[in-house]
Amino acid sequence: MTEEKSLNFLEEIIEEDLRSGKYKTIVTRFPPEPNGYLHMGHATSICLNFGLTAKYGGYSNLRFDDTNPVTEETEYVDNIKADIKWLGFEWKNELYASDYFDTLYEYAIKLINKGLAYVDDSTSEEIALLKGTPTEPGKDSPYRNRSVQENLGLFERMKNGEFADGTHTLRAKIDMAHTNMLMRDPLLYRIKHAHHHRTGDKWCIYPMYDFAHGQSDSIEQITHSICTLEFVPHRELYDWLIEKLEIYPSHQYEFARRNLSYTVMSKRKLLQLVNEGYVNGWDDPRMPTISGMRRRGFTPASIRNFCDRIGIAKRENVTDFSVLEFFLREDLNHAAQRVMAVLDPVKLIITNYEDGKTEEFQSENGPDEASGTRTVPFSKELWIEREDFMEEAAKKWFRLAPGAMVRLKSAYIVRCDSYDKDADGNITAIHCTYLPESRSGNDTSGLKVKGTIHWVSVQHALSAEVRLYDRLFKVENPSSEEGDFKDYINPDSLQIVNAFVEPSLKNAGKDDRYQFLRKGYFCLDEDSTAGQLVFNRTVTLKDAWAKEAQK
RNA sequence: UGGGUUAUGGUGUAAAGGUAGCACAACAGAUUUUGAUUCUGUUUGUCUAGGUUCGAAUCCUAGUAACCCAACCA
């Protein structure tokens, strides 16, 4: 069986580079800025960068792009590393752009000596003004033609801390009339008297992204530097700097960032959700962050499979959330232990079952024979799901209704005889008779019932808090709607219920995955304690009845 | 007449002049002690207009639309 899988455009480039002998082996890097948490968009990049070197040989570095000390913190570094490991990837070297600050400083001096960089005393407003606009050329700064000696002296004084923040910058000397705004004498260094999470107070000048990223790539001899489409205009500058500096020629390639429907994926927006209390932190299970998805119960494999399947290209896109859910369910279907839990309980009383009697049934743990069985206790009074009973059976309804029969999973067939209602019209109890000869495993009743429902024995049940999560936004693309994206938050994205779960869940483990039969996939939340079980719903099961009911 | 990038079913992604394919979604059916899973089948697409060619998603010409670029952020 040779299944031919087509290549994406990056794989094509790499295969050509390998074939032509341009490279013997490839090196990529994942370059997060340690100023926030990783999200699903980063996962795409991680899978891509690490996946490429795994496929073609070579290795990937983890490099923190820590050139802005004001926003960056070590706490983020640790979380980012944990997230990448959890996703299942290993970097060859853990590196920091700040490791290269000395080299970068020398590069700057080289540029000054070549007459290709100058110190500008303009304020940021003045610089912006002289920059022009996309449709109008810029004008030269009055400081543009300083001598090499003067520039050298000023740059050194910048480094020595003789100037206040914002008073001087080092700029490349390219062309103020260039059609590419980034080539209009871009800033290379700025003054920031700030404490850096790694270099401390050694520096008060810090390189800009454009004077750090490509140079770091070059220093690490990255062969394929992969980034998102908004960096396309930077490539011209990326190449210019490498050429003028005469350093190892890394090459930049761009792909379109991945968007997911019903969520937002920018650090800025996610930060707002956290800061303004719409969610409970970066790892809130509704967040598209790696940590949030982990807490929600996503598996690393489901995320990796998703990234592989949706592919990579250069056009704008919004991937349907259902694709992610598909890979989640696919993985969980095999990984999850089956258990019974009733989320919206109503009491079912078996009138012809002996008072005080208890039986034990064996129920399968999973779809594969190998997953084995577990013991579930049964008695006269059970909790069942309120939605599994209808006073008047609908068309195609094959659950409980007056006169109707259902199978209690792994136990007996019961028939509904009557039910109790309170003054408000709420069902308070359902009375049934059971068929002793329909015992699961040796059913001699000869009856075939269409419906099977889950249950939990009242006297054996454990109570648990269950957090039911739904999509965070009501619309597919909150960012493209009128007004503020937060206006489209789904008010029902979290619903907390008190459920009854089968006693085997007493020993639920942190990494265990469960399928609450017929209800969805769940995992233990970190808020869970010995006295109070707390479960998160990862994702529901597909529900054919819900669709039928809508008709 | 700023520059750049991109256009293939509802969504994502293939097809390097030769049968428009795959996945998700949707729909129909079979199996089912989970209305799950599994299995079978069906619907839906090349931005527009010209041109080259026996033959065009692909090549040419002219349009159109969307996105990115004017942070001492990355």
* Of the candidates A78, A95, A66, A104, the residue with the CA atom closest to the CA atom of residue A199: A66
Answer whether any strand B atom is within 7 A of the Cβ of A74. no
pTM: 0.96
Scanning every strand, the nucleotide with its C1' closest to A412's CA turns out to be: B33
Radius of gyration of chain A (CA): 31
Same domain assignment for residues A148 and A182: yes
Smallest CA–C1' distance to B23, residue: A309
Q: What percent of chain A has pLDDT over 90?
A: 97
What is the mean pLDDT of the segment spanning A16-34? Answer: 97
pLDDT (0 to 100) of residue A265: 94
Q: Within a domain: residue A445?
A: yes
**A220 and A94 in one domain?**
yes
Q: Which domain holds residue A390?
A: 341-454
Residue A329 shares a structural domain with residue A391: no
* Same domain (yes/no): A21, A159: yes
The C1' atom of B37 and the CA atom of A505 lie apart, in whole Å, by 23
DSSP string covering A121-133, please? ---HHHHHHHT-B
Q: How does pLDDT run across A127-170, given as a tens digit for each residue?
A: 999 999 999 999 999 999 999 999 999 999 999 999 999 999 99
* Strand B nucleotides, any atom under 7 Å to a protein CB: 2-8, 10-16, 21, 23-27, 33-38, 66-74
State whether the beta carbon of A399 lies below 7 angstroms from any atom of strand B.
Answer: yes
| Residue A30 and residue A147 in one domain | yes
User: In angstroms, rounded to a whole number, what is the distance separating the alpha carbons of residues A112 and A116?
Assistant: 5
Domain co-membership, A272 together with A358:
no
Residues 6+ apart with CB under 8 A from A253: A10, A13, A224, A225, A226, A227
DSSP 8-state assignment for residue A258? P
Which residue type does A350 have?
I
Last residue of a domain, one of A201, A232, A255: A255
Percentage of chain A lying above the pLDDT 70 cut: 99
pLDDT of A481 reads: 87
End-to-end C-alpha distance for chain A, whole angstroms = 43
**Residue ending a domain, choose from A397, A420, A454:** A454
pLDDT of A23 reads 97
Average pLDDT over residues A30-38: 97
How far: A318 CA to B66 C1' (Å)? 13
What confidence tens digit (pLDDT) does each residue in A378-434 have?
999 999 999 999 999 999 999 999 999 999 999 999 999 999 999 999 999 999 999
CA–CA gap between residue A35 and residue A30 (Å, rounded): 15
Q: Cα–Cα distance between A19 and A281 in angstroms, integer?
A: 48
The residue that minimises its CA distance to C1' of B2 is A135
Domain tally, chain A: 3
Closest residue (CA to C1') to nucleotide B3 in the complex: A179
Q: Which nucleotide is nearest to A68 (CA to C1')?
A: B73
A543: which nucleotide lies closest, measuring CA to C1'? B35
Domain annotation covers residue A3: no
Residues A442 and A484 in one domain: no
pLDDT of residue A167: 98
- Residue A459 CB burial class (10 angstroms; 0-12, 13-18, ≥19): exposed
Question: CATH number, domain at A531?
Answer: 2.40.240.10
* Per-residue flag: A385 CB under 7 A of strand B: no
Q: Is residue A483 part of a domain?
A: yes
In tens, the pLDDT along A215-231 reads 999 999 999 999 999 99
- Within its chain, how far is the Cα of A318 from the centroid? 15
A473 found inside a domain? yes
Token pair in block for residue A409: 């999973």
For strand B, is any atom closer than 7 Å to the CB of A40?
A: no
Q: Which of residues 183-202 of A touch strand B (CB under 7 A)?
A: 187, 190-192
* A173 CB less than 7 Å from any atom of strand B: no
| Active site residue ranges of A | 33, 257, 267
User: Which residues in chain A, range 430-459, keep a C-beta under 7 Å from any nucleic strand B atom?
Assistant: 438-441, 443, 451-454
Helix (H, G, I), strand (E, B) or coil at A42: helix
Confidence at residue A75, expressed as pLDDT on a 0 to 100 scale: 95
**Residue A542 belongs to a domain:** yes
Asked if residue A459 is part of any domain, the answer here is no
Please tell me whether residues A144 and A236 are part of one structural domain. Answer: yes
- Model confidence at A2: pLDDT above 50: no
**B9 C1' – A320 CA distance, angstroms?**
15
CA angle A399, A403, A406 (to 5 degrees): 35
Please check whether residue A262 lies inside any domain of the structure: no
Which nucleotide is nearest to A69 if distance is taken from CA to C1'?
A: B73
pLDDT of the residue at A368 = 86
Mean of pLDDT values over A186-206: 98
Per-residue pLDDT, A480: 87
Query: How confident is residue A551, by pLDDT bands cut at 50, 70 and 90?
Result: confident
Q: Give CA–CA dist A411/A406, Å, rounded.
A: 11
- Residue A182: which nucleotide is closest by CA–C1'? B69
Together in a domain, A246 and A361? no
A23: nearest Cα among A224, A252, A266? A224
Distance CA A30 to C1' B63 in A? 41
Tens digits of per-residue pLDDT, A433-465?
999 999 999 999 999 999 999 999 999 999 999
Instruction: Look at residue A4 in the predicted model and tell me its pLDDT.
Output: 55
The model's pLDDT over A498-547, given as tens digits with 9 standing for 90+, comes to 999 999 999 999 999 999 999 999 999 999 999 999 999 999 999 999 99
Evaluate whether residue A517 is within a structural domain.
yes
**Cα gap A45→A258, rounded to integer Å:** 9
Q: Is the domain of A424 the same as that of A305?
A: no
Q: Which of A235, A255, A275 is the last residue of a domain?
A: A255
